[in-house]
Amino acid sequence: MDWIGGAAESAREGHDVVMTPTSYCYLDYYQFTNNETAEPKAMGAYLPLSQVYAFEPVPANREPQFHSHIIGAQGNLWTEYIASLQHAQYMALPHLCALAEVAWSPSSLRNYDDFMRRLQVQARPFDQLGVNYRRASLKPSGD
């Protein structure tokens, strides 16, 4: 697991690596800059949806022979401040949608504006199922 930058060394040694850097994959961070009043309690850092979508699990500056050892990405949702399923859903969504697309799609096919349009459609099943997600993130203006 690579939280803070050890992936290159691990891959060089032949180990498989799951990328989960704090600056892109920590779903327990605030989703809005005014964290004290607008958001439920979180770990304290700010992670906008656009930043999650900008994550590249296989960094361009890594030697190509080691790319096969980067086997995926993971979102982390630590629950020190999360007391309910509804709170966990809010913290994870829609960030988890962005991370899923990043993990499963080649960077050449990713487009944030298109992702945001598709996320509007994804909101319908969330609403039908009663999922508690950060609705403000789905506005066309972005985060």
Residue 14: left (phi > 0), alpha (psi -120 to 50), or beta? Answer: left
123 pLDDT higher than 80: yes
d(CA 56, CA 94): 18
What predicted TM-score, i.e. pTM, was given to this entire model?
0.88
The full set of domains in the chain, from first to last, is 7-138 (3.20.20.80)
| 67 close to 16: Cβ distance less than 8 angstroms | no
143 pLDDT higher than 60: no
- Residue-wise pLDDT for 19-74, tens only, equals 999 999 999 998 877 655 567 777 878 899 999 999 998 877 777 888 888 899 99
Pairing between β-strand 17-19 and β-strand 70-73 as defined by DSSP bridges: parallel
